Chain A
Amino acid sequence: MLQALLIPRRMVMLAIALGLLSLCFIYGRWDWLGEARYQNMMLKGIWNTVSLLVLTMALGMALAIPLGLAQAVGPWYLARPAQAFCGLIRGTPLLLQLFLLYYGIGSLFPGIPGIRESIFWPILRDAWYFAVLGLSLSVAAYEGEVMRGAFKGVPHGQLEAATAMGMPPFTMFRRIWLPQALQRVLPTLGGETVLQMKATPLVAMITVTDIYAVSSRVRAETLIVYEPLLMLALVYMAITGIIVLMFRWFENRVPTRTA
């Protein structure tokens, strides 16, 4: 890692990059970073982004497993709707889906009598839950396709062996089929998590205050054009780096046999 950086050409590049960074730092306006108010907002924004990412990945994967299973081996009355759902979500922009959920369906709610008095109203009014729903459905559709391939890719002999041992279907699924399918998707899943992270700033368009929304607010209040955006890019690159490292560590822990 370090040795790869010590080649003269890379050291020159590194020096240029550092020079550009310090130029940005000296000539840019960074005073807003010192204000406690903005610091708190940024921390809260990063927390919102990360928790949105973790929550929607978990919910989405939980939905993707039955979706993938239905498409891979399900009867037509399960496979067809699952395919239609995946096609629908993958064929339209996420931004539009979020608009449709929050403004579209949200605008239909007040028409239902008595809904304002019900205990669900605070949830139905909060953009956060719409964001979680929209992003989870998106993960479910994309990962459903991935899981379909993974379920199909598990060698048939493994499942036949489990059946021959008299394993009940659910135990076979839990012990043999799912673990091997998950092991297959692990490299893909890292990339998909990065893609999902890059989808999170869209929730700012439906008033959720993630780190993107915080930088927009800083830009609006201080009238600085570039610096908050550069900070934003840096934050996202850091999160990407953490995701990549985490998945690399995770993949190394899973034993694989290479022929």
Chain B
Amino acid sequence: MQALGALGASTLELLAYSPPGWGATLLRGLWNSVQIATGAFALGCLIGIAGAYGKLYGSPWVKDLMAIYTTVVRAVPELVLILILYFAVTDAVNQLVLAMGGSRIEINGVAAGIAVLGIVQGAYATEVLRGAILAVPSGQIEAARAMGMPPLRLAQRITLPLMLSFAIPGLANLWLVATKDTALLAVVGFAELTQVSRQAASTTKAFFTFYAAAGVLYLILSIVSTIGFARLEKWSRRGQRRMGG
């Protein structure tokens, strides 16, 4: 019993907010993860909207290119894509800077993470949003066209608001995938939650404590976002008739 008490006390000490405890470090890691996930999700949604419109209304060339993009990204493991894109993106930026007469620069880790995960998310978002746009009753879009609405305003006023309620379940899934995929950036050495807890664990040798603590943090994040997305879905369905109602 005494040993158990000592274990509890030392665990609290390890997770304390102020150093020598690692609490602050873990929370900073979580903040980095949330930042990267938010950025990647936003970038993914933008690519997704463009991709979905390209797949639905684009020229045959655009359609084929989008098909190649979504197929390849969805067939290769995220871990491999992150490595390839990470090296390719940092290399390309450096080549560009060198060509413009600058010197090699260190790429901001968060920016590279957002870019890489955003490209991956974009492929999945394309498919989600394409399905959602197809689910919008075609009469609505035709009516807007008949009224002479220009395409951009049509998208902004009719298609995008109406497709939101169909897209949100899929987008919620994507957001959860984004938060979990940030863990993969540990392989390229970002100080996100998994990497930080790995450092804490190997420094203190308290492997179980830190991985369990990181798991709890991820779990809280996913529970909070599930609740948030449920609310968002309810909001996006305002004014719609309830199914089977």
- Judge whether B211 and A99 touch: CB under 8 Å: yes
If over half of A's interface residues share one DSSP class (helix, strand or loop), that class is named, otherwise mixed; here it is helix
* Contact residues in A for B186 (Cβ distance below 8 Å): 95
B72 to chain A, nearest CB (A): 7
Indicate whether A168 reaches chain B with its CB closer than 8 angstroms.
no
Indicate whether B219 reaches chain A with its CB closer than 8 angstroms.
yes
* Cα distance, A197 to B75, chains bound together (Å): 9
Indicate whether A193 reaches chain B with its CB closer than 8 angstroms.
no
B192 to chain A, nearest CB (A): 10
- Judge whether B184 and A95 touch: CB under 8 Å: yes
Query: How many A-B pairs with Cβ below 8 Å?
Result: 108
A65 to chain B, nearest CB (A): 23
* Cα distance, A212 to B223, chains bound together (Å): 32
Indicate whether B212 reaches chain A with its CB closer than 8 angstroms.
yes
* Cα distance, A95 to B82, chains bound together (Å): 14
If over half of B's interface residues share one DSSP class (helix, strand or loop), that class is named, otherwise mixed; here it is helix
A16 to chain B, nearest CB (A): 11
Within 8 A of A (CB), among B33-72: 60-61, 64, 68, 72
* Cα distance, A200 to B194, chains bound together (Å): 18
Select one of A87, A104, A199 contacting B77, CB under 8 A.
A199
* Cα distance, A95 to B182, chains bound together (Å): 10
- Judge whether A93 and B212 touch: CB under 8 Å: no
- Judge whether A96 and B84 touch: CB under 8 Å: no
- Judge whether A229 and B218 touch: CB under 8 Å: no
Indicate whether A237 reaches chain B with its CB closer than 8 angstroms.
yes
Contact with B along A78-99 (1 / 0, CB 8 A): 0000000001101111111101
* Cα distance, A77 to B124, chains bound together (Å): 36
- Judge whether B219 and A229 touch: CB under 8 Å: no
* Cα distance, A87 to B222, chains bound together (Å): 9
Select one of A96, A103, A107 contacting B218, CB under 8 A.
A96
Contact with B along A105-129 (1 / 0, CB 8 A): 1111000000000000000000000
* Cα distance, A203 to B25, chains bound together (Å): 26
Between-chain CB contacts (< 8 Å), 19 pairs: A90-B176, A91-B219, A92-B222, A93-B183, A93-B184, A96-B194, A99-B194, A99-B198, A99-B207, A100-B211, A104-B211, A194-B74, A194-B75, A198-B79, A200-B77, A201-B80, A229-B83, A237-B75, A240-B76
- B contact set with A: CB distance below 8 Å: 60-61, 64, 68, 72, 74-81, 83-84, 87-88, 176, 180-184, 186-187, 194, 197-198, 201, 205, 207-208, 211-212, 214-215, 218-219, 222-223
